[in-house]
Amino acid sequence: MKSNNLTIVKKGDLQYIQFPKLARLDCVRHIFSTRHGGVSKGEFASMNLSFSRDDRETVLKNYEILCGAVGIDTANLVLSHQTHTNNVLCVDKSHCGTGVALEPFSDIDGLITNVPGVALVTQYADCTPLLFCDPVKRVIATSHSGWRGTVKQIGKVTVEKMVSCYGCDTKDIIAAIGPCIGKCCYEVDDPVYELFLVIPDFDTEGVITVKGGGKYMLDLAEANRRILIGAGIKPTNIDVSDICTCCNSEHLHSHRATGGKRGNLAAIIELA
């Protein structure tokens, strides 16, 4: 697995990904997992971060390994039950442990906080990870954007909530678009294509390629980049993944590559 845009870090058996623009900020810790360096077995091997797909103690150990690499305390984690909505929730210290020691939030696909020591977690296996940090107002967010979330513009909704709830200025926000299924592998059909056509002020040229026979190739990373720019984020403030999860399914969990026999990747971000 190689990348020209993201940083792939190896520490012994552990391998993880970081985003250069976020890594340059001294106010935030972040990490994006790969399949390597955990203790899960079989189709979940070896770094699975989904409690619903694996033994609880195994997943807890995986979080300890992953979070330990960047100095995040697992007691600070906040997880939600993602259902491809554009629902985004603001959380604080009182929510730490949600999704780990406590029941996860339901129908929430994005999390925001301005409180240090609150580690926001979203999970993936082909969908698009979105991470945000406003280093001026000291606000972070992460959102899960599959094709449904992209059509619903969850990236834009997240940015708008950072502005309305915490007074962020969009020109200050640093964003990252993480590894997802690439345009090389993501074939969709007419119903999905038609939904992208009606996204307000959205140009599908270069995002969707017509194959014929009612089939199309969709570039989720580029679609989300355009949505973030439309929300007011500077293009120069966005890191965009060039890694396809499906092409790299030996390194990254991919639902499409494995027919659903997989674990979950995780994006974690925390204010220092």
pLDDT digit string (tens) for the chain, length 272 residues:
999 999 999 999 999 999 999 999 999 999 999 999 999 999 999 999 999 999 999 999 999 999 999 999 999 999 999 999 999 999 999 999 999 999 999 999 999 999 999 999 999 999 999 999 999 999 999 999 999 999 999 999 999 999 999 999 999 999 999 999 999 999 999 999 999 999 999 999 999 999 999 999 999 999 999 999 999 999 999 999 999 999 999 999 999 999 999 999 999 999 99
pLDDT of residue 68: 98
- Whether residue 78 lies inside any domain: the answer is yes
Across 213-239, b (16+ Cβ under 10 Å) vs e yields eeebbbbbbbbbbbbbbbbebeeebbb
- Whether residue 83 lies inside any domain: the answer is yes
- Whether residue 241 lies inside any domain: the answer is yes
Tokens for 31, please give them.
């990490």
How many structural domains does the chain have? 1
pLDDT of residue 88: 98
Beta-bridge partners for 244: 180
pTM above 0.85, yes or no: yes
- Whether residue 195 lies inside any domain: the answer is no
> Domain holding 150: CATH number?
3.60.140.10
What range defines the domain where residue 86 resides? 7-181+233-271
- Whether residue 2 lies inside any domain: the answer is no
- Whether residue 240 lies inside any domain: the answer is yes
Is residue 123 within 8 A of residue 50, CB to CB? The reply is yes
- Whether residue 251 lies inside any domain: the answer is yes
- Whether residue 19 lies inside any domain: the answer is yes
pLDDT of residue 180: 99
